[in-house]
Structure 1
């Protein structure tokens, strides 16, 4: 091979090789530092675009997951209060019904029974008032309580169009007390509402016994209504739980999909890094040797 003072072909080749190795080394080091083989659009425009859209969807799904958690807590609060109002032999409507049946006994002191009934009435009202989560209370409704309540349940995107799914609840189905006395326990059905039943002045007369029968029928109907409302919220709880589990699974699935598109193979990249570092060292030596050719030509003129 001829030598020239103006053009050092060997040095130019070695320099080009070193530049190429340095470029590959920079790419590999970036992949190792970020953990991604596609971190910008310039790496792979198609994969980057898909991954960006999927990450945006996952952010929306995370928001849905958070909303489902809030909805689950709200529904659970109302459900727990409703089951407490239905009660058992120690309290609630079930105990109230038993006391009214007991009050039909001839010669019994109904004033004492009324004292227990009053305690149960106050207990149920207190339970309903306390059934508040994050400022939401469906059991003690006010004028500000919305007629329906929508719980976010899902998110999807088809053809670039996002869709938000929701569970719609009619609050009147769960209201025990309202500001207009139209709730399950404060609406007047017969001589009084469940919340205002008072038997202290009743006697063993036929008319008063008929009044007691009316109260028992009224409380039995209330038990059925409140139990139905609790069962409905129980079904909503299960639906929310199922949706929450699905959303979490979907988030994990999308994360895996994004990883398949953009994540770097760290084992392969580490191996490549070592190889490129060796090539870089050899390239520097090759360039040094090529530059020595020019020095050798100059020595001929000394």
Structure 2
């Protein structure tokens, strides 16, 4: 038989305990709705939070990889554009040099051809000198190691080799002082220009392959980053539809708990009737 006492109200204590449990659950649901996360701190679920933090670190590191790949791709693309201009200029030089091999040219005609030749020759040097992006020039011989872009978060790199297209370099063998002022000089310059055209074509193919490699890896890194972000979301994001339904249920349960506590608290007043 339950003890009738004004000092100890067991029913009220049980009702209060149940109400506190409901309030704690309601607070948890409200926090999930406010943050959109079922695990927003280490105290929610230490293991899951630690895993999520580790993956967030990977995602952040991949941002650095993407930045490096984008810089590398830009540097290579600038070099490709400049290299194509060099190739076009060499084609013009070949026409001038071939014309100058004609021994029947008058001195004035040969002089005019030579001036055109030198002007176009000097444009090659200008194009190569200006083929820089963010301080990196893959065509003037200054970047002997090429451009090494980050490939992953472990620090591995993708290297695109530099192609020295400066005059008298390994690719453009035409000299900085080459002329076509005589038939023999024109013949010599023609041979150098022809070899240079072939060399530049091969160098552009290498740069194009390097640009494609950087672009392919950049696409992969973007997809990997998206997959990691989705994985983190699966670990920590709350199902708001489910939490909304649970909120409604807990609010109803809370109201019922308050009613139960009120009934339990009023039960001791019934004892007054025993003394009338």
TM over 0.5: yes
Shift in Å at residue 131 of structure 1?
0.8
In 2: Cα distance, 1:176 partner to 1:254 partner: 42
Partner of 2:171: 184
Number of residue equivalences: 272
Aligned to 1:122: 122
- How far did 1:2 drift? 4.2
Q: CA deviation at 1:62?
A: 1.4
RMSD: 1.9
TM-score (norm 2): 0.92
Distance 1:152 1:300, change over 3 A: farther
Of residues 285, 288, 291, the one that matches 2:259 is: 285
Separation in 2, partners of 1:38, 1:132: 48
Report the 3-state secondary structure (helix = DSSP H, G, I; strand = E; otherwise coil) of the residue aligned with 1:5. Answer: coil
Aligned counterparts of 1:73 and 1:295: Cα–Cα separation in 2 = 84
The corresponding residue for 1:5 is 6
SS at match of 2:64: helix
**1:214 CA displacement:** 2.2
Match of 1:266 among 236, 240, 248: 240
Q: Secondary structure of 1:106's match?
A: coil
Helix, strand or coil: the match of 1:223? helix
Please list every run of 5 or more consecutive structure 2 residues that lacks an aligned counterpart in the other structure. none
Distance in 2 between the 1:94 and 1:283 partners? 90
Shift in CA distance, 111/299, structure 1 to aligned 2, threshold 3 Å? farther
Equivalences for residues 5-84 of structure 1 within 5 A:
5-84=6-85
Cα distance, 1:260–1:271 mapped onto 2, change above 3 Å: same
- Calculate the TM-score normalised by the size of structure 1: 0.84
2: CA distance between counterparts of 1:62 and 1:299?
A: 76
Give the number of the structure whose residues are more often helix, by fraction: 2
Q: How far has the Cα of 1:194 moved from its partner?
A: 3.2
Residue 168 of structure 1 pairs with residue 159 of structure 2: yes
1:132 to 2:132 alignment: yes
Q: Give the SS at the match of 2:252.
A: helix
SS of the aligned residue for 2:155 comes to strand
- In the TM superposition, residue 183 of structure 1 has moved relative to its aligned partner by 5.0
Structure 1 residue runs without a partner (length 5+): 157-162, 188-192
User: 1:6 and 1:148 mapped to 2: Cα distance?
Assistant: 87
Corresponding residue number in structure 1 for 2:145: 148
Matches within 5 A, 1:237-276: 237-276=211-250
